[in-house]
Structure 1
């Protein structure tokens, strides 16, 4: 079969199965990316969630030896929610970021990639294919940029002319020598709004992120969130959208093209107090289908406690004190101590002094002492 004709057929098929954008690039190594990743590692800017194998992250042939091309796909996701519940006194709510609305995007994209793979193998049965979404070795954004899906914005997101940066990305490495697409020229210009608005200053320069300071990363860690960042997290219980919502290229864009991506308002804007004592089973039942559930309930509960402090929600103090008294997890107890001190202020001093008499974990004791010293 003529590869050029098949490439056109594949593009048409991708539209039929609901892929919003498709592009192609060679399997050549990503030389510049490799240098950037080495610099990130040297500066200790990596999150730790990514693969440590820089060669595999920048060379498709390390993953599939017969690789000749990479197919990049994008699916647009919604950024506005109908019927979103609002926080009110005694009923404060957290928020999952937009990339955790609806069904876990890894599953959604994987299904599309599997359909593409099947179509390829039906017509070219001797070809080799290997797909990945986010958790694979290759850097999705680098592939998408070179495949003409969009340009890499200063906020480190791929920005497409059609859908802005609200797109999920995935790719297929293949042995088929497809013609590469034309990359899109950077259209950010002199704009620095995403850098200016970043809550923690994690975007240290155009296209350079200190992932360890990024709110999205911080909400996914399992340890105590550093004191300097807690108040900047606000009511975010998973992820952060600030550098996207401020972007002029996203203004007026909102796409509802995939039913499985539509958010359930009560799930993605949950009542914070409902999260404090949720069991593992309850968490999996209600939130397990979201991409934001991948780290389990512990980080979400910790973030909910921080959000309650953000709102100074006095109705939660008794429950927070119960956590300090009974919860076996030092991170939860320590965060609850901090939240109580923020909500009640100096009024909580005698309570915290009493806690110091019974607490024996270093993390929690340090939180208690810091809170008392700050009064």
Structure 2
């Protein structure tokens, strides 16, 4: 079979199953990416969530020796939330980023890739493939860029001409020598809006990210959030969108092609206080289908506490005191103590002092001291 003809059939089938954009790339070594990854490693900018060695991440044939091409796919996701609930005094809400709206995109893209794989299997004897979405060794962005899905923006996202950067990416390595597509000839030009708008300076330069400073990454960590980022995180429970929202290429982009991606307002902007008493089972039942639940409830609850401190939500003091006194996890107890101090009520400070008498964890005691330090500011 002529591979050009097969390629057209794959593209047409992709459209039938709801793939918004599809591209084809060679399996040549990603040499530029390899040097960037080495620099990231040397600079201490990695997130720690990366899979595989630098060689595995840049040499497709290490992952599949018979590899001859890569198929890249993109699915556009919605950006506008209808009937968004308001976060108001006495009823504060948190925020999940757009990439966590609807069903977990990892499952959606894997399903599309598996369907694509089965389609090609019926066409070609001996067809083999290796699909991956986000958690695989290959860089989804590097593959998508090479496959002509879009260009790599200064905000470290793939920006497509049609959908902006609001796309989920996935790919499959194949043993078929599909003719490769050409990269998109576009770029950010002189625009630096994403870099200028990054609240923590995580975008150290165009296309280069210090993941350790990125709010999207910080919301997913499980330990105490470093002091310098607590105010900057605001009411974010998971992820961060500003570097995409300010991008001129994203202006007016809002696509509702996939019913599974439609957000439920009460899930993507949940009340903060009820999150603090949620059991593991309740959390899984409510948020388990979302991409933002992958790290479990602990980071979400810690971020919810920080959100209440951000709002200085006095009505939450009672629940925060309960958490400070009763929660078995030091990170949650300590963050609650800090938040009580940040909200700064007389009763709150007294509760921290009482809790200190029975607290034995040194890290929690440090957070309690931080909480009491707000007293001198609000005397």
Q: Does 1:215 align with 2:215?
A: yes
Q: How does 1:52-67 map to 2 (within 5 A)?
A: 52-67=52-67
The structural deviation recorded for 1:52 is 4.2
| CA offsets 1:106-150 (integer angstroms, 9 cap, x no match) | 000011000100011110121221110000100000000010000
The answer as to whether partners of 2:29 and 2:59 remain within 8 angstroms in 1 is yes
Which residue does the alignment assign to 1:303? 303
Residue aligned with 1:216, SS: helix
Worse overlay, 356-365 or 19-28: 356-365
- Counterpart-to-counterpart distance in 1, 2:189 and 2:61: 34
| CA offsets 1:232-252 (integer angstroms, 9 cap, x no match) | 001110000010001000001
- Counterpart-to-counterpart distance in 2, 1:346 and 1:54: 53
Which residue does the alignment assign to 2:176? 176
Residue aligned with 1:352, SS: helix
- Counterpart-to-counterpart distance in 2, 1:355 and 1:186: 58
Which residue does the alignment assign to 2:12? 12
Which residue does the alignment assign to 1:102? 102
- Structure 2, unmatched stretches of 5+, are none
Which residue does the alignment assign to 1:283? 283
The structural deviation recorded for 1:15 is 0.6
The answer as to whether partners of 1:96 and 1:236 remain within 8 angstroms in 2 is yes
Q: Does 1:70 align with 2:70?
A: yes
Residue aligned with 2:344, SS: helix
| CA offsets 1:45-93 (integer angstroms, 9 cap, x no match) | 0000111411111011011100010000000000001111111121110
- Counterpart-to-counterpart distance in 2, 1:372 and 1:323: 17
Which residue does the alignment assign to 2:239? 239
The structural deviation recorded for 1:347 is 6.1
Q: How does 1:157-168 map to 2 (within 5 A)?
A: 157-168=157-168
Structure 1 runs (4+) deviating above 4 angstroms are none
- Counterpart-to-counterpart distance in 2, 1:320 and 1:371: 12
Number of residue equivalences = 375
Q: Does 1:128 align with 2:128?
A: yes
- Counterpart-to-counterpart distance in 2, 1:125 and 1:84: 50
Which residue does the alignment assign to 1:25? 25
Which residue does the alignment assign to 2:251? 251
Residue aligned with 1:252, SS: coil
Worse overlay, 350-359 or 323-332: 350-359
The structural deviation recorded for 1:359 is 1.1
The structural deviation recorded for 1:345 is 5.3
Residue aligned with 1:308, SS: helix
Worse overlay, 361-370 or 168-177: 361-370
TM-score by length of 2: 0.97
Worse overlay, 152-161 or 120-129: 120-129
- Counterpart-to-counterpart distance in 2, 1:188 and 1:72: 22
- Counterpart-to-counterpart distance in 2, 1:111 and 1:30: 26
C-alpha spacing 1:345/1:193, structure 2 compared with 1 (3 Å): farther
The answer as to whether partners of 1:349 and 1:372 remain within 8 angstroms in 2 is yes
- Counterpart-to-counterpart distance in 1, 2:125 and 2:85: 50
Q: How does 1:86-97 map to 2 (within 5 A)?
A: 86-97=86-97
Which residue does the alignment assign to 2:273? 273
- Counterpart-to-counterpart distance in 2, 1:47 and 1:185: 29
Which residue does the alignment assign to 1:230? 230
| CA offsets 1:258-289 (integer angstroms, 9 cap, x no match) | 00000000111101011001001100001000
The answer as to whether partners of 1:152 and 1:186 remain within 8 angstroms in 2 is no
- Structure 1, unmatched stretches of 5+, are none
Residue aligned with 2:117, SS: helix
| CA offsets 1:188-240 (integer angstroms, 9 cap, x no match) | 00111101111211111111101011111111010000000001001110000
Q: Does 1:340 align with 2:336?
A: no
- Counterpart-to-counterpart distance in 1, 2:133 and 2:54: 17
Worse overlay, 242-251 or 360-369: 360-369
The answer as to whether partners of 1:164 and 1:250 remain within 8 angstroms in 2 is yes
C-alpha spacing 1:313/1:373, structure 2 compared with 1 (3 Å): closer
- Counterpart-to-counterpart distance in 2, 1:346 and 1:162: 54
The answer as to whether partners of 2:106 and 2:134 remain within 8 angstroms in 1 is yes
